[in-house]
Amino acid sequence: MKKKILIVDDEPDIVSYLEMVLQDSGFETMTAGNGNEAMEAVKRERPDLVTLDITMPEASGTRFYKELRTDPDLSTIPVIIVTAVTGLGGDKYAYEKFISNRRLVPAPEAFFPKPIDREAFVEAVKGLLAA
């Protein structure tokens, strides 16, 4: 059976691209446009992995990540953060360092700054879903 991946992003172009990349690699995909929709989808569909954007309307990726990680039933679902958020001097990995240092939530399983390195991204997804 195909593994299910939830793509959470408010940019339709990014969603289409990630859908294409993941479907081409043999995964089933579903999508959500913000943190609230994503939480509903996770509860309803129980995906095997989530790719998560951070800056989104209604409910941000940061808030969704907290809700997911603090829910005992959902906290083990692997999350790959895919974001264009940068830090001082355009540091593309600043958000990864930032979220990995929070007391309430653990570090995400993987992190990719936009634009993503397609091969490395697919490798990471396969690696996480094989584990």
Name the residues that contact other proteins, by CB under 8 A. Answer: 57-60, 62-63, 65-66, 69-70, 88-89, 98-99, 102-105
For residue 34, the minimal CB distance to other proteins (Å) is 10
Q: Of 8 and 99, which has the nearer Cβ to other proteins? A: 99
Q: Of 25 and 36, which has the nearer Cβ to other proteins? A: 36
For residue 105, the minimal CB distance to other proteins (Å) is 5
Instruction: Report, in angstroms and rounded to the nearest whole number, the Rg of the chain calculated over CA atoms.
Output: 14
Q: Of 16 and 70, which has the nearer Cβ to other proteins? A: 70
